[in-house]
Structure formats: C-alpha cells, structure tokens
C-alpha cells in the first residue's frame, strides 16, 4: 500500500516538474529560469525542448527623461519632469505616445528648441527662459538587481544641461 502511494507521489512530482519545465524554459530571461537553470535545463536538453522564444518586436529603447527649469529673471519659478512621473492619463497608450514624442524631441537640440520650449513658455507665460536637462537611463542587468541594488540607483545617469531657450512674446502667443 505504501509502495503504491510512493510511486503515485513520484509520478505526480514528475508530471509537475515536466509542466514546470515546459512553462519556464522558453523564457530564458526570466528570474525563475535563471535561478532554476542548473536543475531545469539538463532535463530540457534531454527532451529536446531547450529553445528560447524568439520575438521579433523592436527594442523598447533607452528611456530618456527631461527636467525643465522654468526661470524668471534667472530665478527658478517651476520645475517640470518630462514625462511626468505620475501617469495622469487613464489609458496607458496616451502616456506612451507622450513619452515617445518627448523621446523624438530629445534626439537633437533642435527638437527641444522647437517643440518643448515653446510649449513650456505657453504653459508658464511669466517665464523668461527655460533650461532643459536630459537624463538617459540604462536598463539594469539581472545580476545587478539580484545583488540588491535599488532600481532608482541604477536608472539615472548624471544629468547634463542640454538646451537653453528664451521665452519671447511670439512663443507665448
């Protein structure tokens, strides 16, 4: 009787292990697959299932953040984080579009000068100048996250003054 229970329990464990291999092996970059790799991958090789998923979607790209210092006569009157840290839209697609348009503008100084600075000058009519600094984030590796480094420490690289613009009457109108 105990022998039958033992065989049944072993069979159930083997089926659960097989299902776990089928669910975890295709996604090689997951934490679970990397953590259980020494146990799971030899079995996946044995059953010829050691193939990673291949997605042909474009890379999401490096996140770019901008901080705008709105000034009146060389004194800061406001600061804008672009894109805003808090998603103010109900649908994520609106936020993604706004983020992409800012990324497009940040590719060169002319984009910021022609798109971002006039928008900020209209938003703050009392402003006389705007200084926009750009922060380029890097996506942390799994090893650095495993080491316990905080995500905020890994993401932000030093900011640099990127574009200075003057708010004129024609920009405000």
Q: What is the pLDDT of residues 91-107, one digit of tens each?
A: 666 666 777 777 777 77
State whether 122 and 39 are in the same domain: no
Asked whether residue 12 is domain-assigned, the answer is yes
State whether 73 and 137 are in the same domain: yes
- Of 89 and 140, the structure prediction assigns the larger pLDDT to 140
Q: Does the structure show a pLDDT above 70 at 138?
A: no
Q: Read off φ and ψ for residue 99, nearest 5 degrees.
A: -65, -40
Structure tokens at 156: 């932000």
Q: State which residues form the domain around 74.
A: 64-172
Could you give the CA distance from residue 145 to residue 31 in angstroms, rounded to a whole number?
A: 10
Asked whether residue 53 is domain-assigned, the answer is no
Domain count, the chain: 2
Asked whether residue 55 is domain-assigned, the answer is no
Asked whether residue 58 is domain-assigned, the answer is no
State whether 19 and 87 are in the same domain: no
- Of 96 and 73, the structure prediction assigns the larger pLDDT to 73
Could you give the CA distance from residue 68 to residue 16 in angstroms, rounded to a whole number?
A: 54
Mean pLDDT of 143-149: 74
Asked whether residue 57 is domain-assigned, the answer is no
Asked whether residue 52 is domain-assigned, the answer is no
Torsion of Cα atoms, 173 then 105 then 132 then 73, to 10°: -10
State whether 38 and 69 are in the same domain: no
List the end-to-end C-alpha distance of the chain, in Å, as a whole number.
Answer: 88
Q: Does the structure show a pLDDT above 80 at 141?
A: no
- Of 129 and 136, the structure prediction assigns the larger pLDDT to 129
The percent of residues in the chain predicted with pLDDT above 90, rounded, is: 9
Structure tokens at 47: 């059953």
- Residue of 20, 45, 46, 48 lying closest to 33 (CA atoms): 20
State whether 94 and 165 are in the same domain: yes
- Of 111 and 158, the structure prediction assigns the larger pLDDT to 111
Identify the weakest region by mean pLDDT among 33-42, 89-98, 110-119: 89-98
State whether 145 and 91 are in the same domain: yes
State whether 124 and 84 are in the same domain: yes
Please report the pLDDT score of residue 12 as a whole number: 95
- Of 37 and 64, the structure prediction assigns the larger pLDDT to 37
State whether 165 and 80 are in the same domain: yes
State whether 68 and 29 are in the same domain: no
> pTM for the full model?
0.52
State whether 36 and 74 are in the same domain: no
Q: What is the mean pLDDT of the chain?
A: 77
Q: Does the structure show a pLDDT above 70 at 38?
A: yes
State whether 124 and 158 are in the same domain: yes
Asked whether residue 23 is domain-assigned, the answer is yes
The SS3 call for residue 91 is: coil
Model confidence band, residue 74 (pLDDT cutoffs 50, 70, 90): confident
Asked whether residue 129 is domain-assigned, the answer is yes
- Count of residues for the chain? 173
State whether 165 and 104 are in the same domain: yes
């Amino acid at each position: 009787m105990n022998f039958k229970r033992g065989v049944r329990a072993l069979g159930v464990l083997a089926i659960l292990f097989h299902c776990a291999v089928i669910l975890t092996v295709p996604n090689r970059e997951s934490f679970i697959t990397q953590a259980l790799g020494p146990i799971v991958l030899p079995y996946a090789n044995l059953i010829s299932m050691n193939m990673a998923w291949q997605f042909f979607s474009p890379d999401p790209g490096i996140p770019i953040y901008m901080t705008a210092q709105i000034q009146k006569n060389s004194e800061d009157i406001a600061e804008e984080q672009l894109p805003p840290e808090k998603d103010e839209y109900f649908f994520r697609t609106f936020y993604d579009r706004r983020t992409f348009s800012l990324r497009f503008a940040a590719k060169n100084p002319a984009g910021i000068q022609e798109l971002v600075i006039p928008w900020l000058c209209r938003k703050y009519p009392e402003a006389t100048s705007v200084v926009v600094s750009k922060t380029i984030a890097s996506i942390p590796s799994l090893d650095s996250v495993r080491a316990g480094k905080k995500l905020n420490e890994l993401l932000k690289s030093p900011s640099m003054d990127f574009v200075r613009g003057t708010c004129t009457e024609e920009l405000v109108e």
